[in-house]
Structure formats: structure tokens, C-alpha cells
Copies of this chain bind each other. A is one copy, B any other.
Amino acid sequence: MAVYTDVAADELAAFLARYDIGDLLSYKGIAEGVENSNFLLHTTAGSFFLTLYEKRTSLDDLPFVLGLMSHLARHGIACPQPVLTRAGETLGTLAGRPAAIIDFLEGVWPRKPTAVHCAGIGEALAKMHLAGRDFALRRPNPLTVGNWRPLFDQAADRADGLQHGLHDLIADELDHLEATWPGNLPDGVIHADAFPDNVLFLGDRLSGLIDFGLACNDTFAYDVAICLNAWCFEPDHAFNVTKASAFLNAYQRQRNLSRAEQDALPLLARGAALRIMLTRLVDWFNVPPGALVKPKDPLEYVRKLRFHQSVTTMRDYGVISMDDRA
């Protein structure tokens, strides 16, 4: 729910005058996104999305994020494209904030993803991984395994207050992941946040990947692991092997997971579950009383983590592995 900065119409009109996107008809602050102020613009040329980057977004990351969207869109990925000013720039200043305009993509995000949606994100994620290969800029993952312990430190004291035994569960898992995290899997540009609310569909057809704010360079299979967690569990947190199979098979039709990636997937999925649990845990203990943003439940990911701890092969994820096929 986010409009941290309001924009006056005359300021916005002056900002838009730098672009070739027609005259302003309306703009509405969007109750979406946690970190930035977002507006849906209507102009005489169509619909656009305006983002004002608030303080938590590092200005240093914007060239990567905006450049990646341009790169991916040029390579046929359905994602919003930054609109260039007449001077060829993607980033300007509005109301004292770094600001960018991107295409507005039609589509709705699936509140109740089906196996068809899961296949859609599987295909799109693999295509994105392939299309990002020759993107020139680099951004290390700010939320990779080495950054999880500081998150835990912020919440460790209070973890057992949320669920008895949570502290030790996380501590043990963190020890294990830090000791065994794979370092040599194929890597490149990953979305890192391809949850259902960042993937738009028109009916069963995926119409766009959005919100590249956490995109970075990391292991491709880790991005797969994030999606396994985000798409392939039911509202009661039970694993849905049909959805996982649809997701992984669709991914592999575009980009085959190597034997090493397949072997590592259960561990990477444990890591993805822990990462999401930790950021949710920190948010959980830092919500101001009475805030309108309802924090997401960290315990959802306790149950997902426990599932992945029980997985031994891709077969448990509904996929006949290369090894099995041989």
C-alpha cells in the first residue's frame, strides 16, 4: 500500500514534457508495492506506470533494474519497458525523488494459481534466464546465503515467542545451509521475486513479469527454488506436486536443469524458504502498531521448509530426472 510522496499535477506535467507520451489525462496512486510510490498514468497516448523511488531503494541499483527491463523487453520477454525521454534517459527526478516511467502492462495476477499458471511462470522464468545472459551490468544478490545470518540476528531473540522451537529450527538450518550452499551452479540474471503478485496473466496466457526491484545475479536454480516455494503450495501450505511438475517441466522445456542443478534443488528450495521466512520474520517484529500494511506470516515458510527438508530427489517435486530417464 504505497504512496509515500504525492505529486502535484503541474510538477508531473513538467516531468512528462520531457517524454513523447502525449498529454496527461489522469494519475492515480496505486496501493501496491511496499518500498516505492507508484502511480498509474493515463495520457493521450495510453497507460503508463510511474515510480518514485523512495529512500530504501539504492540509487545505485536503478541502472541495473531499468537497464535489465529494457534488455529483456528487447529480447522478447514480456515485461514492462522503461520509457525513454527525448534525450534517451530512463531516469529523472520528480518531487525530489528519482523517478521513471515504464509501460503499463495489462493483466491480473493470479490470487489462486492453477497448474496452467505454474507452467506459464516456468516457461517465462527460463526464457528470462536465457535472455539475461548477455546483459552487461551486474548486481550481486543482496539477499543471498551470506546475508541471512544478520537477518536472523535481528529477530532471533523473539523467534520463540512466535512459535516454540523456531529459534533452534532456524539456527540449525542456517548452519547447514552456510556449510553446504553450492557455489558452482550455472548463474546469471535472476528475478529473485517472481511471486504470483509479480506475474500478470490475461486468462491463461502470461502477459508479463513485473517488479524487477530485487533482480540480481545469482544461481538460476535458486530462482527456480524461489518459485517452487511461491507457486507450488496450497493455501493450507500443502505441497502440490501437480503444480510443481507443471512448473518444472515447463521450465525445462526452455532451459534444461543440469544434473548438478537438479541435485541441488532441494537444498536451494530450503534456502529460498529460509530467506523468505527471515525477511518476513524481521518485518513481523517491525510493523508499527496500527499500520495498514499487514505483515505476511513467517510460519507459512516453516512448513514449506520442513517439506523441502524431506525431499531427496526431483521425483519428489513431480519430475522424472535425467538420471531416472537414463
Contact = CB atoms under 8 A, between A and B. Distances in A.
A54 to B, nearest CB: 13
A103 to B, nearest CB: 12
Nearest to A200: B26
Interface in A287-309: 287-293
A289 B292 contact: no
Contact of A32 (B24, B29, B105): B29
Interface string A275-294: 00000000000011111110
Interface stretch (A62-70, A106-114, A159-167, A173-181): A106-114
Interface in A42-59: 42, 47
A9 interface: yes
A184 B3 CA distance: 44
Contacts of A29: 1, 30-32
A108 B47 contact: no
Contact of A108 (B26, B40, B104, B287): B26
Given A47-B42, A106-B42, A291-B292, A112 B8 contact: yes
Interface in A8-46: 8-10, 12, 24-32, 40, 42
26 contacts: A1-B1, A1-B3, A1-B31, A2-B31, A8-B111, A8-B112, A9-B111, A9-B201, A10-B112, A12-B108, A24-B108, A25-B106, A26-B104, A26-B108, A27-B108, A28-B30, A28-B40, A30-B30, A31-B31, A287-B290, A288-B290, A289-B290, A290-B290, A290-B291, A291-B291, A292-B292
